[in-house]
Amino acid sequence: MRVSDFVSFLKQCTSFKHIHQTHGFLVSRGLHNDNLILSHFIQACFSLGYSSYAYFVFTHNNNNNNNNKRPNTYLFNTMINVVSPSEAVSLYDKLLLAGLRPDTYTFPFVLKAVIQLSAVELGRQIHCQALGTGLHSDVNVVTALVRMYSCCGALFDARKLFDEMNFRDVALWNAMVVGYVKAGDVDNARKVFEQMPERNLISWTSLIAGYAQMRRPEEAIVAFKRMQLENVEPDEVTILALLSACAHLGSLELGERIHSYIQKRGFLRKLPFNNALIDMYVKSGSIRKALNVFENMKEKSVVTWTTVLAGLALHGLGREASLIFSQMESAQVKPNDVTFIAVLSACSHAGLVEMGRWYFNNMDSRYGIRPKIEHYGCMIDLLARAGYLQEAFKLVNAMPLEANAAIWGSLLSASNIHGDAKLGQHALQHLLKLEPHNSGNYMLLSNIYAALDGWDESGMVRKNMRDTGVKKMPGWSFIEVNDRFHRFIAGDTSHSEFNRIFEVVCEIFYQLKKTGNHWKEIFGLLEFDS
């Protein structure tokens, strides 16, 4: 029987009865002695969920002393590749005890298990065993070792191995790029990427995803445009990474083009793309288009509902968020803890105190979700924003958890809005311990004193800020014009069109000044040299 015919036959197996009958067929014809055929059979058992039976077949053949075709390295490799990580390591040990020699497939399979176990020391032992077999220079084995060291946080070892290799194929180059990306070192990932003699889709996607993950969306988009110039067709992973970059950047125009591309490729049938589109439209300022995607979806997961709720929260649409949450319950989709963060945030942005109280108080009793620090943070922010400062402060003291910087920051910000210098000072004392170098905290308290005509106190806060070496971080913004992103940083004059921009701002300032005193409200903090 040809192996290809047997593989086609296996695809028709859908139940344990089919598997059992197929095994009987193999044994009756002596085909169970063919390790290649047996390997395909074992893989079919695992894919259908009959792992115990696969173990039985493997072990039976392994212990059959009268069988000249006992499991060889190939069959062990099959098992190592399909079992759980701990079982894979155990089988690898049995392979060695059986006197079998690991090959170029054994090491990548067992090292994949090492990655899942995050067991770098075990990985080092396997590396030593690879040295003993003479396969330490095999490009497939080295690639697996580089991946293992990178994923387990031993980037120095990964780079050392990479540099020692005389021959590097594109998979090894990619492993090093991915290693740096996983470590959050996208600059070194870019350096390796630029040195590559050839690149493939994985190379480009890894770099784009790295920039997106590190919140450097402009560079992700630039890399994508380069990828297009080299006629490399993006895949699903690339598009999802790009949508993430568009969401961070708020690039609606590019996001719409990607949406059109997704539609043409038929990706809209897949849930992750719809979820990513909703997130992109929300963060690009178009809640209407986000809701349009949401309403046209045939399948919605808890992630879908939560993404929409978070979007409505971001746009201050608290009542609409409450309506969507009700629809979610009607659809019998169970909310999770992230869903409640979105709902409470929506209430906070819309000032819906009573509604927020109801959701917060019923989280555990009605939905079985015990409030975490993030939920307390949302509730405290809601109360503080609405002016219930003492209630918010009482909730901080009653929390079963230690208040974090976000919670004290909410109180400090609300103290600034509602002019409560005493609470603001108390919040700042906690923030100075948690975030000693955050200039924004000092500035908020200084503004509270200034608003209450406490200029001496305001000056002391700024002096304390200078004395402790805390520097105010400059604000920045950007705009997209003709597919090019322009970033502006406060106090920076390096932009090529700085003089023209300054002239236009001065003209706006002059026109506003002519209209009366309202210009002071808009440009009260703006200073120009005369």
Residue 376 pLDDT greater than 80, yes or no: yes
The pLDDT assigned to 45 comes to 76
CB neighbour list of residue 402: distance below 8 Å, 6 or more residues apart: none
Residue 483 pLDDT greater than 90, yes or no: no
Q: Which residues pair with 476 in a beta bridge?
A: 489
Helices 252-265, 271-283: inter-axial angle, 10-degree rounding: 160
Q: Which residues pair with 484 in a beta bridge?
A: 481
Q: What is the mean pLDDT of residues 254-261?
A: 90
- Name the percent of the chain lying above pLDDT 90: 49
Residue 5 pLDDT greater than 90, yes or no: no
Phi (first) and psi of residue 254, to 5 degrees: -65, -40
CA count, 13 A, side-chain hemisphere, 140: 10
Q: Which residue has the higher pLDDT, 446 or 34?
A: 34
pLDDT confidence band for 66 (50 / 70 / 90): very low
* CA distances, 248 to each of 220, 376, 445, 484 (Å): 11, 26, 30, 16
Residue 527 pLDDT greater than 50, yes or no: no
CA–CA dist 308, 342 (Å, integer) = 9
Q: What is the mean pLDDT of residues 404-431?
A: 82
pLDDT confidence band for 19 (50 / 70 / 90): confident
With 0-12 CB in 10 A as exposed, 13-18 as middle and 19+ as buried, what is 169? Answer: middle
Helices 186-195, 201-213: inter-axial angle, 10-degree rounding: 160
Q: Which residue has the higher pLDDT, 281 or 428?
A: 281
Average pLDDT, the chain: 82
Q: Hey, what domains does the chain have and what are their CATH numbers?
A: 187-299 (1.25.40), 314-371 (no CATH), 377-475 (1.25.40), 477-523 (no CATH)
Residue 92 pLDDT greater than 50, yes or no: yes
Tens digits of residue pLDDT in 280-312? 999 988 999 999 999 999 999 999 999 999 999
CA–CA dist 106, 95 (Å, integer) = 10
CA–CA dist 33, 27 (Å, integer) = 8
* CA distances, 17 to each of 55, 56, 89, 182 (Å): 17, 16, 31, 44
Residue 260 pLDDT greater than 70, yes or no: yes
pLDDT confidence band for 369 (50 / 70 / 90): very high
Q: What is the mean pLDDT of residues 66-91?
A: 79
Q: What is the mean pLDDT of residues 328-332?
A: 94
Tens digits of residue pLDDT in 151-173? 999 999 999 999 999 899 999 99
Residue 57 pLDDT greater than 90, yes or no: no
Q: What is the mean pLDDT of residues 442-452?
A: 58
3-state helix vs strand vs coil in the chain, percent to 5: 70, 0, 25
Handedness of CA 170, 171, 172, 174 (dihedral sign): positive
Q: What is the mean pLDDT of residues 487-503?
A: 69
Q: What is the mean pLDDT of residues 105-114?
A: 95
Q: What is the mean pLDDT of residues 473-498?
A: 62
The pLDDT assigned to 521 comes to 46
Instruction: Find the farthest-apart pair of alpha carbons in the chain and give their distance in angstroms, rounded.
Output: 103
Q: What is the mean pLDDT of residues 225-244?
A: 91
Tens digits of residue pLDDT in 401-411? 898 888 988 88
pLDDT confidence band for 135 (50 / 70 / 90): confident
